[in-house]
Amino acid sequence: MSRALAYAPRLLSLTLLLSAASIATARGETQDHDSGKTHVRLSWVKSSETRLGPAAIGFYDPSPESNYAISADWGKRFSDTLFSLPFEMTANLGLQYFAERGYQPDGWGATAYIKAQYTWRLPFTELDIRFGLGEGLSYVTRIPMSEQRDFAKKGVESSNLMNYIEWTMDVPLRQFEVFAPMFNGHIKEAYIGYIVWHRSSVFGLYADAKGGVNFMGFSFGARY
């Protein structure tokens, strides 16, 4: 009984996420199927000791392990607004490869998350920046070594299934004339960006104590 109660919050989170994804898919199917709703992204991120807040604005303190991950993500827009606010909403799935650099065997991971994105025009310019915040679940076949160390300092272990938060800042490339030839085919928009990739226990909801790990890096994405 105690084991079942321990896993109940995690199962509830998974149920809520899957329900949101189902609603997103259903809403997406009722909208016009324009060619710009689907996107793909490739990211390279490296483990960091920086807390999530400072990491969001670019501060980077490398972890001793210096492990990194490569991630491929697929997503689809299901709404142009969030409660009538101009936040584009997407449902996303990701696959990660974790390079542990000899500290332990390499591992794989998967993410499922909902993401809100907002495009902001820089003051006194014609340049746009797109900010994004994603929330969902992350599952790894092997807990990254930097994450294991973070939890070991508290005398507890992390969990394969954790909460997932993603923060991004992207620069749309269509606004630069030099990239115009890129959009003569099926690609409707492309982005280069900065990404913070965060696994967290949510103050002990997914593990025996609060804790988590940040991966920070860069990405390239395209919409078609």
Amino acid 95: pLDDT: 98
User: What is the structure's pLDDT at 19?
Assistant: 44
Q: Is 153 helix (H, G, I), strand (E, B) or coil?
A: coil
**In the prediction, which pLDDT does 77 show?**
95
pLDDT, position 213: 86
**What does the pLDDT read at residue 9?**
44
Residue 208: the pLDDT is 67
Degrees to nearest 5, angle at CA 165 with 72 and 115: 70
**pLDDT at site 79:** 94
Residue 56 burial (CB < 10 Å; 0-12/13-18/19+)? buried
* Cβ contact 139:161 at 8 Å: yes
Q: What is the pLDDT of residue 43?
A: 98
Distance CA 158, CA 199 (A): 10
* Owning domain of residue 182: 2-31+38-223
**pTM listed for this prediction:** 0.81
Burial of 30 by CB count in 10 Å (0-12 exposed, 13-18 middle, 19+ buried)?
exposed
The alpha carbon dihedral of 91, 19, 94, 185 has a sign of: negative
Distance between CA atoms of 53 and 212, rounded to whole angstroms? 13
How many domains, in total, are found in the chain? 1
Digits of tens for pLDDT over the chain (224 positions)? 333 334 444 444 444 454 444 444 444 443 444 447 999 999 999 999 998 889 999 999 999 999 999 999 999 999 999 988 999 999 999 999 999 999 999 999 999 999 999 999 999 999 999 999 999 999 999 999 999 998 888 888 889 999 999 999 999 999 999 999 999 988 999 999 999 999 988 876 676 667 778 999 999 999 99
Dihedral over Cα of 173, 175, 179, 185: its sign: positive
Q: What is the pLDDT of residue 207?
A: 67
Q: What is the CATH number of the domain that holds 210?
A: 2.40.160.20
